[in-house]
Structure 1
Amino acid sequence: MDLFVVPTISFRLLYGLVIVGHGRRQILWFGVTAHPTADWIANQITEACGWELAPRYLIRDRDGAYGEVFIRRLRSMGIRDRPTSPRSPWQNGYAERLIGSIRRECLDHVVVFSERHLRHLLLSYMKYYNGARTHLSLEKDAPVSRAVDRAGHILCRKILGGLHHEYVRI
């Protein structure tokens, strides 16, 4: 998991929280807030995976927003906390790479108006990333695997208002 900053049209700063599964690099959760607190982040981890499907480990940086409340929540859920070393973003490479992809493929091309708008953009991007965007490391499959259709007419679907396209057979 990792936090990232997004400026709005009114120069307000919004914070996005992304939780990514390392297995197939699937985006599990997005959260958006103007004021990230340890309580808010603790609630986001609970919403993302619930109490039953909690992962064994959580890799995160040493941001001051992850407070004692967050650490207690992880322990109560049975998640082992693995903070990275100070000033070592390469130790959480999957999350850092994902945030870079979100910026390059989505946020650098649109103007964010509000929290609600950013949440909508990120959820739309999550649907695209998990279901349609191919990854070389997954042998050109998406994080949520899909069947390959060999016959039919090809249809083009616009994603994120035409920023990306998905081609499907019907």
Structure 2
Amino acid sequence: MLELERSIVSVVARRFRSRAVLELENIALRHQLCVLRRQQPGRLRLFTHDRLLWVLLYRLWPRCLELMVLVKPTTVIHWHRQGFRLFWRWRSRSGRPSIDREIRDLIRQMSSANPLWGAPRIHGELLKLGIEVSQATVAKYMVRRRGTPSQNWRTFLRNHVEGIAAIDMFVVASASFRLLYVMVILAHGRRKIMRTAVTEHPSAAWLSRQVTEAFPWDTAPRYLLRDRDTSYGSEFRSRVDAMNIAEVITAPRSPWQNAYVERVIGSIRRECLDHIVIFNGRHLRRVLSSYVDYYQSSRTHLSLGKDCPDSRPIQRRSVGRIVAIPKLGGLHHRYERLAA
């Protein structure tokens, strides 16, 4: 009796299974006919619902691939795997909250500004700022680079600016129409004028002595930038070489290659000498000394973040009233707060 019941159940199950298989076959064939009816000449157009239907059929009945004529079986399998990946990607996104846009922008900013930093270094900086994110999140939002990270030219020059100085000369006409030569040595680090000197007859010996006095002992820069003036003779080159300074000579008629000292010379002319009549060398030295003092400790520079070569402290508004201190005989002024 038990065996009879089992046989009856198996027969009914085969009938229902065969009925379902027949329905699935009809759906697969009818759908392919619909696709063939709507296709354009020479091109097969498949929509998203077509792919979803065939993926569902493959999910329910893998043998439907034997009936597929319009596409290859591997294509249907590829669609199924792609849908699987999209489904679990959606499930993963819904499980972990996204970080703020401000933090993402900060990670990208740190990565761009510090090309030598990796995810652990940036993650450590974020922790010091009180931002709690995982290191994997930092690696996800970092800027992707191709090849070995490299610093730009601005960073390279900024790293070497402390070891570069420049020398140049310009001419000033006195009240008696005599020509006076002014030598300027500028340190690139803080745009500081290291020395100015005046002479009527510039020579290699005189220039070499000025370099020695501008950089005593072990304060000499690594590089000295100059033009091709014939006054820099063999004696000057020997003195510079003895001080372990490498000369960098600009191209002929290229003052833009020594731009910093040329800009300082232009400032001396525009802000001082163009407004004063020079009587003789002694007068010129005194005027230049006053201007250098104003330039070093009072005049703000755009390249130094509106600071002076000799850094000038910021005074609090509560200190007192503002007074004007004349410089260069009142041609310029420095403003200070004095306590009441």
Common topology (TM > 0.5): yes
**5+ long unaligned stretches in structure 2:** 1-166
CA-atom RMSD in angstroms: 0.7
Cα distance in 1, alignment partners of residues 217 and 244 from structure 2 = 9
Give the corresponding residue for 1:144.
Answer: 310
- Describe the SS at the equivalent of 1:153: strand
Instruction: Report the Cα distance in structure 2 between the residues aligned to 1:58 and 1:21, rounded to whole angstroms.
Output: 9
Maintained 8 Å contact 1:14/1:32? yes
Larger Rg: 2
Q: Which residue of 2 aligns with 1:115?
A: 281
Higher helix share: 2
Residue number in structure 2 paired with 1:32: 198
The count of aligned residue pairs is 170
C-alpha distance after superposition, 1:77-128 (max 9, x if no partner): 1110111111110000001011000000000000001111101111110000
Task: Tell me the equivalent position of 1:21.
Answer: 187
The residue correspondences of 1:5-20 to structure 2 (distance < 5 A) are: 5-20=171-186
Q: What does residue 42 of structure 1 align with?
A: 208
Quote the offset at 1:137 in angstroms.
1.6
Partner AA of 1:92 in structure 2? N
Distance in 2 (alpha carbons) for counterparts of 1:136 and 1:37: 35
TM-score (normalizing by structure 2): 0.49
Counterparts of 1:104 and 1:76, CA distance in 2 = 36
Pick the aligned partner of 2:226 from 52, 60, 78.
60
Q: Which residue of 1 aligns with 2:333?
A: 165
The alpha-carbon deviation at position 147 of structure 1 amounts to 1.0
Structure 2 counterpart of 1:93: 259
Runs ≥4 residues deviating over 2 A? none
What whole-Å deviation, never above 9, does each CA across 1:36-91 have from its counterpart, x for those lacking one?
00000000000111132111110001001110000000000111011111111000
The Cα of 1:3 is off from its aligned counterpart by 0.4
CA displacement at 1:146 relative to structure 2:
1.6
Structure 1 residue runs of 5 or longer lacking an equivalent are none
Percent of aligned pairs sharing the same letter:
58
2:137 aligns to what? none
